[in-house]
Amino acid sequence: MTHTLNRTGLASPESSNEFIFLCMIPAAWKGTKTAEMVEICDILLKHKPDNMIGIPAGLDEEGLRKMAANATILTAAFNNPVSIQNAVKEVKDKNLGVSIVLSGLFDGINTLCSNIGACEHTHNISLGVFGKADRLPDESVLEITTQCGHALISSLYVEHVVKSIKKGKLTCEEGMKMLVKPCVCGIANPKRIKNSLEKMT
């Protein structure tokens, strides 16, 4: 999905292992793939993603499974290449007839697919940012805001959280939890956000 392509700061050593998992079915199929979507949800939970759709809304495992039964989209963020590889392999081996998209650095995705015997059939590439780029927030702020492809993590909110941490009103852990919550898709990466806040403060 193209809304994950403009994540800033992925080339840094601590961020290069980030992978986004997206599973989608056409809206017209809703209700026809209930068992498959629940099974994929279970597979994701088994391999312990760092974030997942429904988690920012406060759903527990049972709530996530109920959500999956009625969903057309499941998303998750992983920082552990072995975990995401095992999750994708399990989904592939079960041949559930559902499209899976992986987002991350090409080298990591290529290695993952090679390891599980999967063929990459499509590549989407971000060509960068055009226009009045000088009006964008600082790069450190963009490393957080671009994690939500629907722009639900506001740069002003990031700046507010950073100021609150500097004043001792919040810890980086608390700030991270506040910034992850607006990204309802569950693709904001808690580990990367916390690392960014620690560097900024």
Rounded mean pLDDT, 159-187: 97
pLDDT of the residue at 9: 82
Residue 68 has pLDDT above 90, yes or no: yes
Strands 19-24, 99-103: pairing kind: antiparallel
Single pTM value for the model: 0.91
Residue 1 has pLDDT above 60, yes or no: no
**How far is 201 from 197, CA to CA, in rounded Å?**
6
**How far is 144 from 179, CA to CA, in rounded Å?**
8
pLDDT of the residue at 118: 92
Mean pLDDT of the chain: 93
| Residue keyed to tokens 């974030």 | 51
- Contact indicator for 111, 118 with CB cutoff of 8 Å: no
Sheet strand arrangement including 19-24: 51-52, 73-78, 19-24, 99-103
Residue 13 has pLDDT above 70, yes or no: no
Q: Which residue has the higher pLDDT, 125 or 48?
A: 48
All structural domains of the chain, each given as residue ranges with its CATH number in brackets, are 2-116 (3.30.70), 133-200 (no CATH)
pLDDT of the residue at 113: 94
Rounded mean pLDDT, 88-104: 94
Give the pLDDT band (50/70/90) at residue 139.
Answer: very high
φ/ψ of 170, rounded to 5, equals -135, 155
pLDDT of the residue at 180: 97
Rounded mean pLDDT, 126-145: 92
Element (H, E) at 94: helix 81-94
Residue 15 has pLDDT above 90, yes or no: no
Give the pLDDT band (50/70/90) at residue 64.
Answer: very high
Rounded mean pLDDT, 71-96: 96
